[in-house]
Amino acid sequence: MLASGTHREVVLVVDYGAQYAQLIARRVREARVYSEIIPHTTSVADIIARRPAAVILSGGPASVYTTDAPRLDADLCSAGIPVFGICYGFQAMAAALGGTVTQTGAREYGRTALTVTEPDCALLWDVPAELSVWMSHGDSVTQAPPGFTVTASSAGAPVAAFEDRQRQLAGVQFHPEVVHSQFGQRILERFLYDIAGIEPTWTMAGVIDEQVAAIRAQVGDGLAICGLSGGVDSAVAAALVQRAIGKQLTCVFVDHGLLREGEAEQVERDFVAATDVRLVVVDAADRFLAALAGVTDPEAKRKIIGREFIRVFEQAARDIVVEAGSSGASVEFLVQGTLYPDVVESGGGSGTANIKSHHNVGGLPDDLDFDLVEPLRTLFKDEVRHVGVELGVPAEIVWRHPFPGPGLGIRIVGAVDAHRLSILRAADAIARAELTAAGVDREVWQCPVVLLAEVRSVGVQGDGRTYGHPIVLRPVSSEDAMTADWSRLPYDTLATISTRITNEVPEVNRVVLDITSKPPGTIEWE
């Protein structure tokens, strides 16, 4: 978590087990108001002790009818703190304050037409009378609590929004934090600014100040190492920690043999040259490939790569102490560029499912010898980029497409070996070069290039029959990696990529395009 208790104007997001609880916090920050997430088990007394400017109740998968469903303590709504309920939080507020929540059988999922019934209300003021919002509910509020004004409805939700201006309470059945809800950010800001009366004064620079203080408090006079991959996450984490503790940090770049073409050179050229951080390069390619030999299960790959990373770091830490001549000293802290989507997909959210273990979360070994320093753990990728810009991280790294810590090892569907890596590395380099040449780098969030190593297809090249591997292009557009859609790249660009790959990579005779959104797919194939 970000350092807590340092802002008067903090909005606490109560997590009822929603995949998007952090997205709510992110939208609040976009409104220039500081926010933190707390579990739904937090007592009202503890919430009041934090003196929040407002509280937002997130959605969640439960039904208010079930005996084990999380409940809202009505005392929170009488404590003089502005409260805003979203989806399940909206229903929990209604049930706690004397309203009625009913299983009507009229479920609403996805884009839904919303009708504003009170256009002069605070929450929905200055939005169209009819708008499209994102719903995800089976139960509905059929009667608002006493004192509340019903301000909107939909076909499946007779009470789709309500508010009590005098008590600074409001709620909506839909998800304003999701980009698919029209005017969602404006509605959220109406609550923050007009109902809760919060001034929008917080900026991303506040994250830097708080994290610098938190890192210094955690590390003290100790030594830390950072696994620098060359990607934006680890680079920004390293720059942030270096600002906090300076020469106490050593960055370790592990060449695990799973890197893209030119990866190591970019780290030394762009990052080290700009920051003057101390860098130790470890060539561990043989070690990783030996550990991955014959392994095809993606979860097993991730865990193996995570385990080997830590073992390499541990040895690097011992070497750093020896080289420094620090008698009796040791490296106690490991800096990681863990982001919130990594935590959520690895089951780290409150009530969220384990989608896949990220090497820096679920893939860490149980006998870890380091204390983790994760200054970006509650941030999304775009927020990390803003922090990187503030810290002066080179633009070539800040705006680089995300690349997974396990590298090309999880972009080979099948066993990993040196030959398959060379095939994928060549295809990936071509795809990246052509995206840059077409000027669409900033339009694409990420473009994984995947080798289907266990699949072959018949082709015709040079008037002869071939039996080669397919390559999958996975260009996606996203704001935060929690959801994504496939990027509509120009056909000419796709054609050029396909032609170059099949001409220049002999083992490949087919290039296919993945047009699946997230969900149901994930961005990476493994």
Q: Catalytic site residues?
A: 87, 175, 177
Spatial distance between the Cα atoms of 380 and 161, rounded to a whole number of angstroms: 28
Phi then psi for residue 35, to 5 deg, are -145, 155
Spatial distance between the Cα atoms of 21 and 25, rounded to a whole number of angstroms: 7
DSSP annotation of 400? S
Closest of 347, 319, 336 to residue 371, by C-alpha: 336
Closest of 40, 57, 65 to residue 141, by C-alpha: 65
Closest of 77, 74, 114, 93 to residue 16, by C-alpha: 93
**What are residue 437's DSSP bridge partners?**
none
Spatial distance between the Cα atoms of 141 and 127, rounded to a whole number of angstroms: 22
Q: Are 470 and 459 in contact (CB under 8 A)?
A: no
* Three-class secondary structure of residue 393 per DSSP: coil
Q: Are 202 and 34 in contact (CB under 8 A)?
A: yes
Spatial distance between the Cα atoms of 447 and 444, rounded to a whole number of angstroms: 7
Three-state SS letters, 89-128: HHHHHHHHCCCEEECCCCCEEEEEEEEECCCCCCCCCCCC
Residue type, 501: I
DSSP labels for 423-481? HHHHHHHHHHHHHHHTT-GGG-SB--EEEETT--EEEEETTEEEEEEEEEE--EE-SSS
Phi then psi for residue 462, to 5 deg, are 65, 35
Question: Which two tokens mark 375?
Answer: 């200054």
In a 10 Å sphere around its CB, with 0-12 CB exposed, 13-18 middle and 19+ buried, how is residue 125 labelled?
A: middle
